[in-house]
Structure 1
Amino acid sequence: MTTEGFVTCLWFDGQAEEAAHHYVSIFKNSGIGRVSHYSDAGPGQAGSVMTVEFTANGQKFVALNGGPEFRFNESVSFQIYCDGQEEIDYYWTKLTEGGGEPGPCGWLKDRYGLSWQVVPTGLVEMVSDPDPEKAARTTEAFMSMSKFDIAALEKAHAGE
């Protein structure tokens, strides 16, 4: 990895390597980089994985086995913009499998507790429509959904 741009560090409690492999298996343009291990100096158990560098969908990450002190919460999430329902269904299924939880309005938590927003690319345009009735209908429709249904959103926007 280079030092250009930003690298997002994700804090795990012993699942850093497993999580990195999981994310790499879901997204295109992904791969595992350098894996570092704790030494006798600690603070983790000597020989255990300390960090895993990986790329998911072209974005750089470091997964850190930092311990149980911190947990993910909804104040930080990753947005995935999807071109169609098939893509929404794919990411929704992959990210909720194995213990993930669906949430409201296109949000979900994966098996590690990391929050994701799986969003159709056209949603921002629909809720920002200059016609306030179209925007309101779309907003009302998406507020009642868990996983987004593009056809239902388009019908609401159109007033059908």
Structure 2
Amino acid sequence: MTTVTPFLWFNDNAGGAIERYQKVFPGTEVVNETRMPDGTLFVATIRIHGQDIIMMNGGPSHQLTEAFSLSVGVETQEEVDTISDALIDGGGYQDNCGWLKDAFGLSWQIVPAALMKLMSGPDPVRVGRVNAALMQMKRIDIAGLQAAYDGAES
């Protein structure tokens, strides 16, 4: 069976990233791991909510960039806030339009279902207001998006 699995190259902190992701996403499991003769982690596969991700400590020759991100679909503002805060804790930062970079250099998008619903609405004027509001946000504010869709002044 053919599979497609994200493969992430870390300098030397894949183990720390795995520990963080296990805390942020309960139920995350280490599917397998390969260790160097000295016992340090070389490659591991983890499973987050059914998605396998391979992570390697490959050294500094390749860096993670915003050209690749993991998207997390959520329902509530509480999930947006909790997951975002947990991922940026310890040296990450919140970026525009719900994107963030965690302390390990991996980019994430925290995407509430409401955003997709509002952006796919039938009225292009309302969708335009949602898009304009989104472009002004760092962390996505579901109530702010809904207010923009409804035409409420902010």
TM-score by length of 2: 0.92
**Correspondence 1:71 to 2:63:** yes
Q: Which has the higher helix share?
A: 2
Please report how far the alpha carbon of residue 6 of structure 1 lies from its aligned counterpart in structure 2 after TM superposition: 2.6
> Corresponding residue for 1:7?
5
Residue by residue over 1:24-78, the C-alpha shift from the partner in whole angstroms, topping out at 9 and shown as x without a partner, is 2111331123221124xxxxxx432211221112211221011100111111111
Unaligned runs of 5+ in 2: none
Q: Where does 1:140-159 land on structure 2 (aligned, <5 Å)?
A: 140-159=132-151
What is the alpha-carbon distance in structure 2 between the residues aligned to residue 62 and residue 72 of structure 1?
14
What is the alpha-carbon distance in structure 1 between the residues aligned to residue 31 and residue 118 of structure 2?
39
Residue by residue over 1:76-112, the C-alpha shift from the partner in whole angstroms, topping out at 9 and shown as x without a partner, is 1111111010110111101110101110011000001
1:73 is paired with a residue whose SS is coil
Residue by residue over 1:118-152, the C-alpha shift from the partner in whole angstroms, topping out at 9 and shown as x without a partner, is 11102122122221110111011010000011111
The runs of at least 4 consecutive aligned structure 1 residues that moved more than 3 Å come to: none
Q: Where does 1:1-160 land on structure 2 (aligned, <5 Å)?
A: 5-39=3-37, 46-160=38-152
* 8 Å contact kept, 1:29–1:58: no
CA RMSD of aligned residues (A): 1.5
Structure showing greater radius of gyration is 1
1:105 is paired with a residue whose SS is helix
Unaligned runs of 5+ in 1: 40-45
Please report how far the alpha carbon of residue 115 of structure 1 lies from its aligned counterpart in structure 2 after TM superposition: 0.5
* 8 Å contact kept, 1:35–1:52: yes
